[in-house]
Amino acid sequence: MSLAARLEALTSVAELGVHRLPDEVLAELRGLDERAGTRLRLSGEYTVVALAGATGSGKSSLFNAIVGEQLATVGIRRPTTSASQAVVFGPSGAAGLLDWLEIGNRQYRDASYAPELSGLVLLDLPDHDSTELSHRAEVDRLIRLVDAFVWVLDPQKYADAVLHDSYLRPLSAHREVMAVVLNQSDRLAAADLDACARDLHRLLAADGLAGVPLLTTSAVTADGAAPLHDFLASTVADHRARTARVSADLDRIAARLEPLIPKRRSEPALRDAERRLRGALAAAAGVPTVVAAVGRAYDRRGRAAVGWPPLSWLSKIRPDPLRRLGIGHSREQDEVLRRTSLPSASAASRAAVDSAVRSLADTASAGLPAPWPRKMLEAAKSRSGAVPDALDRAVGGTDLGMNRAPRWWTLVGAVQWVLLAAAIVGGAALGVIAALAYLQIDVEAPSLGPFAWPTVLLVGGLALGLLLVVLIRPVVAVGAARRRRRAASELGRRVDAVGQDLVLAPLRAELAAYEQLSTAVQRLSR
């Protein structure tokens, strides 16, 4: 992957990692993003190489040998080098780069002095083991900025633990832009020099720096600095140190991020956890209570509509189950203001909802390291405070199908009234006949076979009306069951929408952010 694409991925990780990655990692990401972008824009024709080393290692002597002039102070006092200085080989176009490096002490060498070094900015850093904290801070600052660095060691202190633990081992990711110099080789016999070099190779391998160039030099012998001179010349000619350093920095930060954001994985199966959440929300919203009330209300209204008229008022005097719950009488446009009279969710229901949300977050974060389980739970619960009111509005705004009575109720009700009217007419006729008989007025009532019509109307109207009630009651019960199923489905849909909006949507957004972060980290890695 190209360096530009990796830098774009770095920017994405820094942006997506806000509130998701540790503060120190975020600070490192932002710092690297700024440094890498700035360095790649500045003086691409120059390569910045720093000489670093301890007091007495001969670092400044080597610097002077390469420069060809006594620019750096040489001595045995501590510290010998107290401030960074730079020598620019070639055209004097590195001012902006040196300003960014904050190095004021700078010298220039014409390209004719050492054409093979043209384009080199050579730095002599303060001693990393200086007793002055500011000197060590300067070393640490510039080590993060330069394109390549050369560690100058001496035969007496090349195994110093501070050097290996604080500098060489932490910089193992930058082996491609590093060289190690065993200086003052003139003080050792050939056999002793070979032994020191072998031991230093072993220590470097333990530091993760196997294969890093190891040069033996001397600043006081003829051509003693030649190995370093050749290394610097090849580094400048290669023109890769600048991008190799940025690439190594990206490798290092990618290695640090990978344990925090493991490789992108498929979306976890949340179906079972979502089903438990829907059940818990439905119970907390009182859906079973409302469904049962729908069945009772349908049965009550059906009996009142198709029952025997003289007794149908008994059904009407009983309170309507839905109206007692404050459901089924609001207009659609009032839904935002709608509230039910359902009792508040019990402690057990609230605990069940909380447990379902936690189970959902645990499923979403399964296998992820900290802090992702906590982040997933926070996302799932981020809007949970609005759930009770949202559930109440969802239930109150559900169309339960109870605002329109079935048409057959009207038909059966009309038949009941016709039968009742027939019974009344028959009873009235019988009353008139009885009154006339009392007055000794003989009236012959029309008959239907052996029965008089008034009797047929009275008895038939009453019997058929009551029989119709018996026959219709199972039909009403079937309708009530159907309305309960419809209400359960519609309530479930509305409650599920609340869960999707207030619990699942924030959780899925956090999952999507994780997937984007994981993808960006993979793009950041080579």
Q: How confident is the model at residue 333 (pLDDT cuts 50, 70, 90)?
A: very low
Q: Any idea what DSSP says for residue 109?
A: E
Q: Where are the domains of the chain?
A: 42-257, 271-407+474-524
Residue from 362, 356, 367, 341 nearest 502 by CA? 356
Burial state string for 15-51 with b = 16 or more CB within 10 A and e = fewer than 16: ebbeebbeeebbebbbebbebbeebeebbeebbbbbb
At 203-239, the pLDDT tens digits run 999 999 999 999 999 988 888 999 999 999 999 888 7
Q: Which whole number is the average pLDDT over 466-482?
A: 87
Cα distance between residue 59 and residue 450, in whole Å = 137
Number of residues in the chain: 526
* CATH 3.30.70.2740 given to domain 42-257: no
Residue-level pLDDT at 345: 60
Residue-level pLDDT at 334: 46
Examine the pLDDT at 118 and tell me if it is beyond 80. yes
Residue from 301, 38, 9, 290 nearest 144 by CA? 38
Q: How confident is the model at residue 182 (pLDDT cuts 50, 70, 90)?
A: very high
Instruction: Report the side by side order of strands in the sheet with 214-216.
Output: 106-109, 85-89, 120-124, 47-53, 148-153, 178-182, 214-216
Residue-level pLDDT at 300: 81
Q: Any idea what DSSP says for residue 500?
A: I
Q: Any idea what DSSP says for residue 365?
A: T
- Higher model confidence: residue 241 or residue 122? 122
Residue from 191, 55, 229 nearest 125 by CA? 55
At 387-438, the pLDDT tens digits run 888 888 888 777 777 777 888 888 888 888 898 888 888 888 888 878 877 7
How would you write 305-355 as a 3-class SS string? HHCCHHHHHHHHHCCCHHHHCCCCCCCHHHHHHCCCCCCCCCHHHHHHHHH
Q: Give the dihedral of Cα atoms 202, 207, 210, 216; nearest 10 deg.
A: -60
Q: Which whole number is the average pLDDT over 500-515?
A: 90
Residue from 232, 221, 215 nearest 149 by CA? 232
Tokens (6 digits) for 197: 């070099």
Q: Any idea what DSSP says for residue 319?
A: P
Q: How confident is the model at residue 332 (pLDDT cuts 50, 70, 90)?
A: very low
Q: How confident is the model at residue 78 (pLDDT cuts 50, 70, 90)?
A: very low
In this structure, are residues 49 and 241 in contact, taking their beta carbons and an 8 Å threshold?
yes
Q: Which whole number is the average pLDDT over 95-108?
A: 90
Tokens (6 digits) for 230: 């050749």
Q: What percent of the chain has pLDDT over 90?
A: 23
Residue-level pLDDT at 342: 60
Q: Give the dihedral of Cα atoms 84, 145, 38, 213; nearest 10 deg.
A: 120
Q: Any idea what DSSP says for residue 127?
A: P
- pTM of this prediction exceeds 0.75: no
At 20-60, the pLDDT tens digits run 888 899 999 999 998 888 888 886 788 999 999 988 888 88
Residue with tokens 């929300």: 281
Residue-level pLDDT at 234: 92
Q: Which whole number is the average pLDDT over 252-256?
A: 89
State the Rg of the chain over Cα.
46
> Please, what is the end-to-end C-alpha distance for the chain in angstroms?
6
Q: What is the chain's mean pLDDT, rounded?
A: 84
Examine the pLDDT at 493 and tell me if it is beyond 50. yes
Find the range with the poorest average confidence among 385-394, 437-446, 453-462, 513-522. 437-446
Q: What percent of the chain has pLDDT over 70?
A: 89
CA 484 distance to own-chain centroid: 39
Residue-level pLDDT at 343: 59
Find out whether the peptide bond into 371 is cis, omega within 30 degrees of 0. Answer: yes
Q: Any idea what DSSP says for residue 187?
A: G
In this structure, are residues 523 and 423 in contact, taking their beta carbons and an 8 Å threshold?
no
Vertex 336: Cα angle to 490 and 293 (nearest 5): 40
At 275-312, the pLDDT tens digits run 888 888 888 888 888 888 888 888 888 887 887 787 77
CA distances from 181 to 178, 224, 250, 490 (A): 10, 12, 26, 78
